[in-house]
């Protein structure tokens, strides 16, 4: 497929996991992708791999908590690819919390919002003029989490992802008259390197998913590519769970009720 032929795309947190899979998927469908990551080596590795596979990609090192760096990343995408049509906000922060809520530190709470919401805000602010100039092809896809919908742990992270979902909806209405669509995907448990030292946790988690497995980064990338593409031209402001049926089920309770 070449749904993104001639389109410039910027993906944050693209040095690994969901961001990497998304950058690869967009490039495979014809986009020129700016692989943005806080770690230069990771960004360069992914961009080089995409080019070796015949795609178009460049790397850029950026901390999304720095307005100047975000602006520079957007400017680089426009310079290299001649414009920017797709923005994927994938960065996040998750800080382990103490057992008792009252022992939670301000810094951890603020850091989760910084990584999950404020960085996306900065990227959108810098990218909007270029997305508008894309002539109706402009699309923003934010990466949320099922934690925004249910209790899966992590007060700060969950609240921040819920804020990102709300931001997606208000932004979608605000930018619709200017031809830019804004949507969000909500992944469930995804098998990324975060879980490499805890394979048993993933195995147990899989038993709680109706589809019988946890997700892969490619599962999420496919949903992102759809929402960013012309196939979703009349879709904006939606939250799309990519969660193997988790949010519509309660397998643990169901099995408990059936137990003899």
**Catalytic sites, residue numbers:** 157
Dist. CA 28–CA 202, nearest whole Å: 29
Could you tell me which residues come within 8 angstroms of residue 71 by beta carbon, excluding any fewer than 6 positions away? 126
**Interatomic CA distance for residues 58 and 251, integer angstroms:** 43
The H or E element spanning position 242 is strand 239-242
- Which residue bears the tokens 């059936």? 258
| Residue 162 tokens, joined | 């819920």
- The contacts of residue 89 (CB under 8 Å, 6+ apart) are 12, 119, 120, 123, 124, 140, 141, 142, 143, 164
At 148, phi and psi to the nearest 5?
-70, -15
Using CB atoms within 10 Å of the CB of residue 249, give its burial: 0 to 12 exposed, 13 to 18 middle, 19+ buried: middle
Any idea what the Cα angle at residue 21 is, between residues 17 and 27, rounded to 5°?
150
Question: Taking CA 190 as the corner, what is the angle to CA 188 and CA 194, rounded to the nearest 5 degrees?
Answer: 125
Strand-pairing partners, residue 143, are 185
């Amino acid at each position: 497929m070449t749904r993104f032929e001639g389109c410039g795309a910027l993906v944050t947190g693209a040095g690994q996991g969901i961001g990497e899979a998304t950058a690869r998927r967009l490039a495979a469908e014809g986009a020129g992708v700016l692989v943005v990551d806080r770690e230069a080596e990771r960004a360069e590795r992914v961009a080089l791999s995409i080019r070796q596979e015949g795609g178009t990609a460049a790397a850029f090192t950026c901390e999304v908590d720095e307005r100047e760096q975000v602006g520079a990343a957007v400017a680089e995408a426009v310079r290299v690819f001649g414009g920017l049509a797709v923005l994927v906000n994938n960065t996040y922060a998750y800080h382990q919390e103490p057992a008792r809520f009252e022992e939670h530190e301000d810094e951890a709470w603020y850091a989760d919002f910084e990584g999950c919401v404020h960085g996306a805000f900065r990227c959108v602010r810098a990218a909007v003029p270029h997305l508008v100039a894309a002539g109706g092809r402009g699309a923003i896809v934010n990466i949320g989490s099922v934690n925004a919908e249910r209790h899966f742990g992590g007060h700060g992270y969950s609240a921040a992802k819920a804020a990102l979902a709300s931001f997606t909806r208000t932004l979608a209405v605000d930018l619709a008259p200017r031809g830019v669509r804004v949507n969000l995907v909500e992944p469930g448990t995804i098998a990324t390197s975060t879980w490499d030292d805890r394979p048993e946790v993933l195995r147990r988690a899989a038993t709680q998913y109706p589809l019988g497995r946890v997700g892969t980064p490619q599962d999420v990338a496919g949903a992102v590519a759809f929402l960013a593409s012309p196939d979703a031209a009349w879709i904006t402001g939606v939250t799309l769970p990519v969660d193997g049926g988790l949010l519509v089920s309660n397998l643990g309770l169901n099995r408990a009720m059936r137990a003899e």
